[in-house]
Structure 1
């Protein structure tokens, strides 16, 4: 074990046993060097590893602090990973009816997948859109047909490059949102009857697309500490002829964890050994709170086996549903599929994004958005921690805007959702994200909203329904 890993594990134990409290300042890098006798680089690597795990956070010019400790996932201490084959998936009707039910404006949107719209749709981008509409050239479709606006692809490629991922504009295909990118990627890599591997609890879009394409789905459970179960992953790819994996490893939806770089490296190694493709759903990649953006699996990919998918919709709003896939050698195939379905992403929005990003407005917007999301989520967390009844657990991770609640085992989250929707309150039950019948007592709560009287009353009503 490297010395940096030993130091990181020692600090992690102090955090987990309560010796280091939430928001307590850690020794500075130089103080830690003097205490441990290690080099400055070793100490820095240890702190950065703890930061990537969400255990500590950095504040510019102030140092490193202990993050609020999340509850581990609700699995027994003798964790025995179980790989499951889901031969028949029937979830499209459930998701359709759910999404229709939370659409009315009177519903308090605690079950929404999108951040509070008041934090999105930046005025500068709206202004740019208005200016561009006055010039008919900005509506020309031909220059923005697949693979999409060249200048936008170049800007996205530059953002990959800033994370140490060599990227050319031709590697990128612009899509109509992340779901479109994921859909096209899975179509490009599979045919009906192929085996794909999903995390057991995952964004319902993965289940929907697998059902529509007639794929056989193998699932692996979440790990109680790491989030991703590398042992179960290895077991699955040795047991089944897996063609493609679809994983969400940064700000996981719905649970919220971010997988460590160590685990990501192990995933990449196994993918390469078994020559298995990975479609990475990284739509929440920019919604980290402190430190540096967590690395995607594309960073660890040495054989072009990873198709990385993301979008601007979770940072700029659902109005700006522009996504992309780092398609690499599959770029031409995905463009062909795109021309037979969505054709291309909105031309005017692509042009507006070029100006918005190239003039550094996007980074300013992201900084404000992250601060607001972190603040709002902390208020929700403190309220739930104080008021939820005995038997409930809150899974709180550094990043994103969801809290994942574990309810007492006798409570069905679907039944709870059905009661609450009658009271004009939307929540997201675990049955949307996990087809295993045993996983029925979890809720995803959207915590991106300011703490208004309306929100407080809705949360009180939610807690009252759990307590009944």
Structure 2
């Protein structure tokens, strides 16, 4: 436990047992440092944690005071996390991504599907043809908000899902993460409260840390994926400015939230005037005939900024994303011109040609079938060999399995043990900053079954069964 957490727990007990009544002024940062023996930074982090939990509040030039609702607690399931310099999620993610770059590594830890399933030959033909045409490189027509023809095609796809959309609502970005980051930056200011799922894509943690935001986390519901009751209580208790949720083929766990729950989430967002940044980059990787609805479908009052990308269906080489920005379109464009400027002009033009044809839908259908087949085989093999000691979460979409390890096994230690053997996997500290939730891994199961894949899986299985 960090020193700031120890101090925060001690101060919390003083508040809860009545030693410090409501509106009592806390010792100043310097006074608390002298009393406790901790550094000023540690004291500041502890005070910020207590403030994020609603136990204390600050007055400019006056200090910190005990809040009126200090004894009103969020249910235990709604764990609260305040990002601070001690968490260092960016450093962890950087080291992890650097460690899995080698082509010699079996990429069970990759966030992308097997590249052999992506980049259809027809798309490569389109790129090759356009590469010989100088007009395809004209960046001026592809600057923010992006290629008009591509925006029209994306808008048409929204309309086909029952979401009225105009090309002016869409801003093309340099991938899904760029769309998410720009949206969060447009909607927040340092010190704002945002709500994340407790276990979520590490890009959300990185963005919150970079922008200096206060983070509240929402636990997953064991049955439904999304804990609606905890969500309602959190937004009633805290001044949440923005939510960042992934509700379709959620990364890393894999669940898809039902349309009924999505409708109720949208209703609560509307009642409390809270914005939602919807991370929906896996929206096309569903199984079966029916594509799950996005939160944008249920949006009331233009509170949802829907973000998606072509990179999970066409590969990392086609890292072009977009955000349904609506009234925030111009603001996001301004931010874009100060950072990534625009997505690759040649790729935008190639996507116009490819996505507007029947080839894209044919590719998506084939991709879904192959992902479903590959994931099923992985799940059966792992359940056969690890079913007695591990809990395997297998949901009907995407290409990830989420695996709960025996409690004596640290997912980070398991990753470190296997990366030496050139096998990668994604440990739960990338997705959840709580020390009590570090016994899970995310496994990419998009790969065709080969002797190399089976051998790597066998090593993974033996590392768990023989873990010291």
Residue 272 of structure 1 corresponds to 270
The aligned runs of 1:436-455 (5 Å cut-off) are 436-455=434-453
Report what 1:232 is aligned to: 230
Match of 2:312 in 1: 314
**Distance in 1, Cα, partners of 2:292 & 2:418:** 35
Of 78, 82, 106, the residue aligned with 1:82 is 78
- Distance across 2 between alignment mates of 1:246 and 1:457: 38
Structure 1 CA distance for aligned equivalents of residues 344 and 90 of structure 2: 26
Q: Deviations over 1:382-406 (max 9, x none)?
A: 1011111522111000000000001
Q: CA RMSD in A?
A: 0.9
Aligned to 1:163: 161
In the alignment, what sits opposite 1:46? Answer: none
Deviations 1:64-102 (A, max 9, x none): xxxxxxxxxxxxxxx952231324242000000000001
TM score, norm. by length of structure 2 = 0.82
Name the structure 2 match of 1:3: none
Q: Does 1:372 align with 2:370?
A: yes
Q: Paired residue for 1:96, among 90, 94, 97?
A: 94
TM-score (norm 1): 0.82
Question: How far did residue 345 of structure 1 move?
Answer: 0.6
SS at match of 1:86: coil
Partner of residue 301 from structure 2, selected from 300, 303, 320: 303
Partner of 2:32 in structure 1?
none
Residues 149-204 of structure 1, C-alpha deviations (whole Å, 9 max, x = no match): 11100000011011100000000000000000000000000011111000000000
**Given that residues 83 and 236 in structure 1 are in contact (C-alpha distance below 8 angstroms), is that contact kept between their aligned partners in structure 2?**
no
Residue 179 of structure 2, aligned match among 178, 181, 191: 181
Aligned to 1:429: 427
State the secondary structure of the residue aligned to 1:196. strand
Which consecutive unaligned segments of at least 5 residues does structure 1 have? 1-78
Q: Is the 8 A contact 1:250 1:257 kept in 2?
A: yes
Deviations, residues 88-140 of structure 1 (Å, cap 9, x unaligned): 24200000000000111111000000000000011101100010011101111
SS at match of 1:463: helix
In 1, are the aligned partners of 2:193 and 2:216 still within 8 Å (CA)?
yes
C-alpha distance in 1, partners of 2:184/2:95?
A: 24
Please tell me whether residue 135 in structure 1 is matched to residue 133 in structure 2: yes
Quote the offset at 1:238 in angstroms: 1.2
The count of corresponding residues between Structure 1 and Structure 2 is: 390
Query: In 2, distance between residues paired with 1:382 and 1:147?
Result: 45
For residues 430 and 141 of structure 2, the distance between their equivalents in structure 1, rounded to whole angstroms, comes to 39
Equivalent residue runs for 1:3-402 within 5 Å: 81-88=77-84, 89-388=87-386, 390-402=388-400
CA distance in 2, matches of 1:426, 1:85: 28
Q: State the match for 1:32 in structure 2.
A: none
- Report what 2:35 is aligned to: none
Distance 1:343 1:232 in 2: 39
